[in-house]
Amino acid sequence: MITYRLLSDDDFDSLYDCFLAAFSDYEVDMHMSRDQFRQRIVRDGVRLEMSAAAFDAERMIGFCINGVGPWQGMETAYDAGTGVVREYRGRGIGKELFAFVMPRLKGIEQYLLEVLTTNTPAATLYRKLGFVETRRLAVFRSSETRINAPGKIAVRSVEKPEWQLYQSFWDGYPSWQNSIEAVERVATERSIVAAYVDDECVGYGVVFLPAANLMQLAVAHAHRRKGIGSAILAALETPERLKINNIDEALTAALAFYETNGYKQVLGQYEMVKTL
């Protein structure tokens, strides 16, 4: 018989093993070390006591892990990962996980998640559960270096980010995993740089180092198309090519910028929200 319960810190090792098994055939490479998995759930604000798993006897065979925090002015739960190991799929376990966990999200106003646009069964389930698409997000990858960054732009490391200034550079808002709150949760695992013209900050970028994920990059409107964004991108590059996830597809200038710098959109995601 399949049973369901909330998680605790004692379940971390089983959750890690189940996560790797459930995502072993996913379209995105989700393999990561135990430490990288721990850093990921810290970044996503995961609270295990508000997350659930499915068990066959003592074996964890599915999970729904949730981050909790503010999102667009509302207290929000974020689905940081839902998966079921392959041999248990098709039994309604994903649906039962949501049915079990949602009544236990006390004090939460809305539930946020992302799902690949190609994952039709999952997207269909979420719509049936009352999730509504809010926007589409692009995932970029690159296997080449084609960043043309001018050499005269001063790019410096930043210890204390100037969020009020940085937000004035935005055209939209980042996804949950790339939000200001996420950046602050991984303060010891991030790298932030800023670009300056005559000692004026005109752009910045943030990378989550354990996974080489670009979390944020923006340039002041009056200083665009001058190579500043490319200089920031070059300064953030790691030995492992940067992964650029969840760029709002409505931000066409941003999409064109990454393509110009050698990145190609490889996947798309729906961002979806359910009011609780």
Identify the CA nearest to 62 among candidates 42, 40, 92.
92
* Average pLDDT over all residues of the chain: 94
pLDDT > 90? residue 71? yes
| Residue 147 pLDDT level (bands cut at 50, 70, 90) | low
In contact, 9 and 49? CB cutoff 8 Å: no
In contact, 85 and 94? CB cutoff 8 Å: no
Secondary structure letter of residue 241 according to DSSP? P
Residue 90 main-chain phi, psi, to 5 deg: 80, 10
Taking residues 229-246, report their average pLDDT: 91
Lowest mean pLDDT of 45-54, 146-155, 260-269, name the range. Answer: 146-155
Q: Is 201 helix (H, G, I), strand (E, B) or coil?
A: strand
pLDDT > 90? residue 153? no
The structural domains of the chain, ordered by start, are: 2-108 (3.40.630.30), 141-268 (3.40.630.30)
Residue 119 main-chain phi, psi, to 5 deg: -90, 75
Taking residues 131-141, report their average pLDDT: 97
pLDDT at 6: 98
pLDDT at 10: 97
| Residue bearing the bigger pLDDT, 10 or 142 | 10
Diameter over CA atoms, the chain = 67
pLDDT at 34: 96
Give the pLDDT confidence of 102-128 residue by residue, as tens digits.
Answer: 999 989 999 999 999 999 999 999 999
pLDDT at 145: 63
pLDDT at 183: 98
Taking residues 140-161, report their average pLDDT: 81
d(CA 227, CA 224): 7
| Residue 146 pLDDT level (bands cut at 50, 70, 90) | low
pLDDT at 152: 76
Residues in contact with 183: Cβ distance below 8 Å, sequence separation at least 6, in sequence order: 161, 190, 192, 206, 215, 216
Give the pLDDT confidence of 78-90 residue by residue, as tens digits.
Answer: 999 999 999 999 9
In contact, 85 and 15? CB cutoff 8 Å: no
pLDDT at 151: 63
pLDDT at 241: 87
d(CA 43, CA 183): 7
pLDDT at 148: 63
pLDDT > 70? residue 149? no
Percent of the chain with pLDDT over 70: 97
In contact, 269 and 115? CB cutoff 8 Å: yes
